[in-house]
Amino acid sequence: MNTIENYKYFYREFIKYYYKDFYLLLFFVLLEAVVICLSVLSIIPIADFFLDQDLTNANIITKKLVFFANQLGFDANIYFFLNFFCNLFDR
């Protein structure tokens, strides 16, 4: 079987006959991708803090999180960043 026949078989079997299962699986894969992206984005401020504790040369994501913390009245320290990382997926 060549590649085109494999794609045709995949289309016939999964999308055509099992479309509900296919779209449910696709939804869960996309949800997993969002969770992975959020976990990477939430660990960036921790890495920036370990590299530069003054956050003078911080990433734009860290700067946005520091701004958000200051608006809420919190100090942007390692405890805030770790709390943000741990509580992002707590629920």
Show the tokens assigned to 13. 């079997």
- Looking at per-residue confidence, does 2 or 65 come out higher? 65
Note the pLDDT of residue 2: 81
Alpha helices in 1-91 (DSSP H): 3-10, 19-51, 60-72, 78-88
pLDDT digits over 40-88, tens only? 988 999 999 899 888 888 899 999 999 999 999 998 888 988 888 888 7
| 25-56: burial string, b at 16+ Cβ within 10 Å, e else | eeeeeeeeeeeeeeeeebbbbeebbeeeeebe
- Looking at per-residue confidence, does 89 or 37 come out higher? 37
pLDDT digits over 3-23, tens only? 888 888 888 877 888 888 888
What does residue 85 show for φ and ψ, rounded to 5 degrees?
Answer: -65, -45
Note the pLDDT of residue 91: 59
